Chains A and B, each alone.
Chain A
Amino acid sequence: MKFSVNNEPVETVAQPGQVLRSLLRELDHFEVKKGCDAGDCGACTVLLDGGPVHSCLVPVHRLEGSSVTTVSGLGTVDAPHPMQQSFVAAGGFQCGFCTAGLVVTASTFTEDDHDDLPRLLKGNLCRCTGYRSIHDAITGVSNTVTASAGHAAGTSIAPPAAMRVVTGTEPYTLDVKTTGLVHLAVLGSPHPHARIESIDATAAEAMDGVHAVLTHLDSPGVHFSTGRHEDRNDDPDDSLVFDRVLRFRGQRVAAVVADTVRIAELALAAIAVDYEVLRAVFDPRLAREPGAPLVHGDKGPEARIAAPERNTVAEFHGELGDVDAAVASAAASVSGTWTTQRVNHVALETHAARGWIDGDGRLVLRTSSQVPFLVRDELCHIFGLEPEGVRVFTARVGGGFGGKQELLTEDLVTLAVLKTGRAVQYEFTREDEFTLAPTRHPMQVSVTVAATADGTLTALAVDQLMDTGAYGNHGIGVMFHSIHESVEVYRCANKRVDAQSVYTNNLPSGAFRGYGLGQVIYAIESALDELARELGIDPFELRRRNVIVPGDNFVVTDAEAQSDLSMASYGLDQCLDLAEAALDHSLTGPQGWQVGTGMALAMIATIAPRGHFATATVTVLEAGPEPVFEIAVGTAEFGNGTTTVHTQLVATALGTTVDRIRIRQSDTDATSYDTGAFGSAGVVVAGKALLVAAEQLRDAIASDGLSVGLSATADHDGTPRSVSFNVHAFRVAVNPATGEVQILQSIQAADAGVVLNPEQLRGQIEGGTAQAIGSALFEEVLLDGEGRVTTTALRNYYVPRFVDLPVTEVLFAETYDPLGPLGAKSMSEAPYNPVAPALANAIRDAMGVRSFELPMSRDRLWRLASTQQG
C-alpha cells in the first residue's frame, strides 16, 4: 500500500487487522506513542488527511492514498509549530508521554475552541500535570523563563528536553530501532491459586517464527522481590521468574519469544497446561485467620516473611502510655474505620524493557524503570551475573508514580536474551497494567482520637490492615511508612499503633505515590476533623495545638526512638496559616447544593529511610570562552523534573547557563551508583551530590584553570533526613440529590524549603493534587471477589480529564533546609497525601454526614445523603 507520512511517500505491506499506530512505529515513527491502544488516552493522535484521529483505531486498509501527519511533521526542534512553542513556553508537560498526542490535537484548535476545551480534550489523558499548564499552553500563557549565567536556581526555566518532547524527538523506552529484535508474550494463570502439574509447549515451539518457549523449567531457582529497595532485604524473597505455584490470576505460566508480538501471542494458545487448582483467599481479614489457605506457606525464614502461617508479611504493634485510659477520661473522643481502594498508577507509558547482548558480550537492558541500578543488582543476584557484565539504563520514562520501582519485565527479558542470544522486547499492554502491575495498597484503617476540652490531643490509636496481594513487594516498607509520619506529626502522650500487611490471592499491591502514608493520613485527618467538631474547635486550630514543632521528637509509639530524621527546617505553621487565609468562605454552588470547607495536613520525610545513595560527576567537555559541562548522574527522569533542577544547580555553581550543561543519566554506565528515583530523592540526594561535585569543580577551575576533562565527583548517602509539610484546603458544593461534587476552591500550601523552580514545583503539586482527586472521587480498580480484575481498560477505570479538575492555588512556605541542596526539600510524593482527607472533610462539612470510604463517587455520596434523609 502507498500513503504518505509527514509528506514523505511510504510504500509498505501491513498485516490484515493491523492499525496505523503500530504500522507507524514499524516505520520508525517513534513519535507516535502507545498509551492504551484502545482509543481512550489520545497519546497516539495523528492527523489523517488533516483531521485528528487516534491512530490505534485506524485500520490500515483505509490508508491507501492518504496523508498522515505526526507531531514530528507539524514542526521540528529548529522550526517548531506554534503549538509546540506554546507547550514549551507554558511548561505544558511533565513526563511528556501524552504530549505528542496533545500537541497534534491542539494544533487543530482555533481561538473559538478555547471555551469548549473540556469537550475537546476529554480524549487526551495526562496523568502528570492536572491540566492547568496544558490549558496555559493552548491559550498561549507563558510560564517559563531563560536564566542568566549563574542565576538558574530559583527560576522557572523549561526542562532541557522540552523542545524534543513537544516535537516527538525525545526517545522513550522503546523509541529506538534495534535490528533483529524479537518479541515476548506471556501466558497468564487462569486461576487465582494453582500448581502447574505439567506444561507441553511442543506445538508452540514448532510454530514458524517462534524462537523459544520459557517456563518454570527454565527459571533460575533464586527467590527475589519485584519491589526494589536500596537494601534487598527490605522486601521478602517470595517471587521467582517463573514459579510452579501460581498465586494470582494472570501470573506468568509461560512466555513465548517470537519474531513478532502477533506470532508470540498466537503461539500462547498452543501451550497445553495442566493445573492443580488450590484453595484461594481474597479477603485480608479472612487471610490472617486460622484455616485460611496459605499463599506462601511453603516459605521458610530465609524468605523474610513475618508469619507465613498467618499470611502475614509484616506487622507492628506498639503502645505509648495508655490509650484506653486516655479515651476514658477525655472530654471528647472519636472512633471510626476508613477504607481505601486499589488505585492504578496509569503512567501513560506502560512497563517495557528491551534487552540484548552488546559487542563486548555484556547484557544490556533499556527499560522503563525508576531504579536502573537496583534492577541491575537484582538481575545479577537472580541470574548469578557480575555487575560488570550487565548494563541497565533508561531513556526518558513516561511516568512512574512508584509503579516503576518494580522488576516486572526486566527479569523475563534477561532470561529470554540469555536463552536465545537475541535482542528481546517485552511491552505491557494497558490491560497488563491493570491485571499484572501492582496497585496502591488497599487499606482498612481504624482510628481513635481523644482530647481534652481545650483541644489537647490525649489519645491517638491506629489499627491498619492492608492487602498486599499475592506477593510482598513493598508490602513491608509501605506498612511501616504508613504509620510513621502520619502518626509522628502529632504530639500526643498516648499512642497505640497496630498494623498488618497480609497476603491474599489478589493481584499484588506495590509502591504508589505517598507509599502508604496517604491511606493512613486519610483516616487520621478525617478522625481529627470529627474530633474538632465534637470539641467545637476550628480544624486549623486543633492542628496548631497538637502538631509537632521544632524541638519535638518524632514519635510513633517509642518516645525514646532515635533516627536520622530531624526537623532541619519547619514550615508547617506557615502552611496552616497560608491555606486558612486563602480559603474563601463566600463561594457558593448552584441552587440547592450544600456547601462546605475542609482541610488536612501531611508530613513526609524528605528521603526514604535505610539508605539512599548517589554518586555524581561534573566534567568539563569543552573549554574556551563558552565552556560546556557534562553531568553524569544515576537517577531517572520520568516527569519529576529532576533533570531540570540538576542543570540549574550545576549551572548556578559554575556561573554558567543551563544550555551549557550536557546530561548523562539513569545509566549504570553513567556513574558508579544511584539508588534511584523514588521517595522523591532526585533533588535532595542525587542533586545534592551533583551540587557538591559542581562546587568542587568550580574550585578546581579556580585553582587549576579550565581544561577539557577536568572533573569532580561527589557522593551523598541520603542521611540525615529532614521533613516536608503540605496542607490542603477545599471549598466544595455537593448536590445531595445526585451525589455530584463541585470543587469551588482548591488550595495547597507546601513547605518545600527553598523553591528551585517555581513553575515545576507548582506542577508537581498540581499533579499530585490531580492524582489524589482521582483517588478521592473517581478511581477504583475493581475485583470480582475471586481475584479477577474487572476494570481492565481506561474506559472502565476513570482517571481525571481536563473537565474534572479545578485550578489549585499553590502557596509556598518560606523556609531554608540546611540538609538539602541550596536549602531545598523534596516535593513529588508529598502533595498527594493531604488531598483526599481535605476533600472528605469538606464534603462532610457540606453534607452533614461523613463518608468512610474512597472513592467518594457520586453513587456513594448520593446513597449517604439518602440514608441521612431517610
Chain B
Amino acid sequence: MLEPMEPLDEDAKLMVRYRDGDADAFSTLYARHKGPLYRYLLRQVRNAGAASDLFQEVWSRLVATRSRYEARAKFATYLFHIAHNCTIDFFRRDLKMRRAARSDDAEHQAEPEVPEYQRPDGIAEFAEQQSALLAALGALPQEQREAFLLHEETGLTIEEIARVTQVGVETAKSRLRYAIRKLKKSLLPAEIPVRSYGRERFEQHAINGTARRLG
C-alpha cells in the first residue's frame, strides 16, 4: 500500500514552489499523496461521504495556509498533521451531534454510544467490501488504527507518527504495537476453532474468505 516516496525534502520543495505560485508543483504533490491521504481518511471515519468531505477540507487547509509553509520537516508529516486535526475535529463534531440528539430524546440514552459514522446504515456498503484484515482494522481503537495507517500509507516512522498525532514517542509506539498485535490475529486461521468446525468446514471457510478478499 505504500506509494513510492521521494527523498525527504523533495515534496517539501514542491510545496515551496507551489507556495511561490507554481500550480504544477501542487499537481505533482497531489498525485503523490492523494491515495494515501484518501485511504487514511476513509479507513479512519469508515464512511465514503465523510472521507471525501475531509479529503477536500485537508487540501483546502493546505492551500489556505501555503503562505506560512516552511520546509522544516518531511512534507508528509505536515500534510497528515492537517489530516489528523481535521479527523479529530470530525470526531468531535460527530460526538457533539450525537449528544445533542440524545438530549432531545431521552429514549436514546439507553442506546449504546455508536458514532453516526459507524452505524450499520452508514458503513453497510463499506463493510461489504471489507476483508478480515480491514474489518479488524475498523475494530481497532481510533488512535491505534491511525498509527497503523500512518505507517502503512505514508511510511512515517514512530517519531513522525508521534509528531503528527501530537503525542510522545512512547505513546505512538505503544499504539502501533497494540494495533499490530490485534491485526496479526486477523491473519491467523488458527483463530478459527478448527476442531469444532471439522477439517472440511474449516477449509471451506478459508476458501470463502479468500474468495471474499479476491472478489
Tell whether A pairs with B.
no
Q: Which B residues are closer than 8 A to A by beta carbons?
A: none
